[in-house]
Amino acid sequence: MQNEDVWLVVPLYDEAAVIADVVREARAVFPNIVCVDDGSHDASAERAEQAGAAVVRHPVNLGQGAALQTGFDYALGDPAMRYVVTYDADGQHQIHDVEVMVERIRRGDVRVVFGSRFLDERTEASASKRLVLRAAVAYTNLTTGTRLTDAHNGLRVLHRDVVRRLDITQNRMAHASEIVAQIGSMRFDGAKVTYAEEPVHILYTDYSKAKGQSLWNAVNILAELIWR
């Protein structure tokens, strides 16, 4: 079986309606999945477990950033793990995109592969959403010295060395920028972390839209980043 050295880290919060399908679909390609249940009020954790994922349960709700870090710590406990994929629980990511990204990182010249919605035209986002995401990525590029086209994409592939050094402290929304910032300032033998971007298709279903980030959230993200 391929991809045994890959762990999918899925922050999970109140997604009982979709998580089982998301896990099953992903497990057909990636056998190792850890769902970090962030104090869900529904049966999310049980559904994920039944579908074959490992489940780590936060005793209280801590936020998505904290859930990612917990997943990283968990995946590091598998000595065979070489790559971690951060993956959303609400079914808006395509497992095919992950396969492409993992293939990309296996070539060995980069340690991080970011997913980007804006490298092709597949993702249909509203104008306001585009504006928010563009502003966020402009701010992130400005402050972290990276050149990305989409900083708040939940889909990433990280090499074990990078995962080991990440320490996400932004529990709430700003963790995406924090991950980019930490990767941007990481040095391996004095050299910057090499990264690449791959186009991904985010499927904005009615379900994910209802739970998605609003324009107001951009304000919160910015505030959390500045007043950290």
Partner 1 sequence: MSRQSVIQILLIAAVLAIAWRLLIGSGQRTQALRRLGLLFLLGIVIYSIIDPSKTWTNLAKALGIGRGADLILYGLVVAFLGFVVTTYKRFRDMETRYTRLARRIALDEAPSAAEHVSSTGSAVTLSGEVPPSPSVKAADAD
Q: Is 74 in the site for partner 1 (CB under 8 A)?
A: yes
Query: Which residue's CB is nearer to partner 1, number 48 or number 183?
Result: 48
Cβ atoms within 10 A of the Cβ of 1, count? 6
DSSP string across 23-80: HHHHHTT--EEEEEE-S-SSSHHHHHHHTT-EEEE-SS---HHHHHHHHHHHHHT-TT
In a 3-state reduction of DSSP, which class is residue 11? strand
Rounded to a whole number of angstroms, the minimum distance from the CB of residue 205 to partner 1 is: 21
- Comparing CA positions, the residue from 133, 132, 149 lying closest to residue 141 is 149
- Per the CB < 8 A criterion, the answer to whether 208 and 125 are in contact is no
Which CB sits closer to partner 1, 172 or 192?
172
Q: Answer yes or no whether residue 75 interacts with partner 1 by CB under 8 A.
A: yes
Q: Which is nearer to partner 1, 52 or 212 (CB)?
A: 52
5-24 residues near partner 1, rule: CB under 8 A: 7, 23-24
With vertex at residue 117, the alpha carbon angle to CA 47 and CA 33, rounded to the nearest 5 degrees, is 25
CB of 199 to partner 1, least distance (A): 27
Rounded-to-integer distance, Cα 35 and Cα 87, Å: 10
Is residue 70 at the binding interface for partner 1, with CB under 8 A as the rule?
Answer: yes
Nearer to partner 1, 65 or 154 (CB): 65
Q: Which CB atom, from 80 or from 215, has the smaller least distance to partner 1?
A: 80
Closest distance to partner 1 from the beta carbon of 59 (Å): 5
Residue where the block lists tokens 């996400």: 168
Binders in 25-64 for partner 1, by CB under 8 A: 25, 27-28, 31-32, 34, 36, 50-52, 54-60, 62
Nearer CB in complex with partner 1: 27/104:
27
Nearest approach, Cβ of residue 181 and partner 1 (Å): 16
Question: How far is Cα 172 from Cα 170, in angstroms, rounded to an integer?
Answer: 6
Contact between residue 82 and residue 160 where contact means Cβ atoms under 8 Å apart = yes
Binding residues with partner 1: total (CB under 8 A): 40
Sign of the Cα pseudo-torsion (129, 133, 134, 135, in order) = positive
**Site for partner 1, residues 158 to 217, rule: CB under 8 A:** 169, 171
What minimum distance in Å lies between the beta carbon of 127 and partner 1?
34
Residues near partner 1 (CB under 8 A):
1-2, 4, 7, 23-25, 27-28, 31-32, 34, 36, 50-52, 54-60, 62, 66, 69-70, 73-81, 169, 171, 227-228
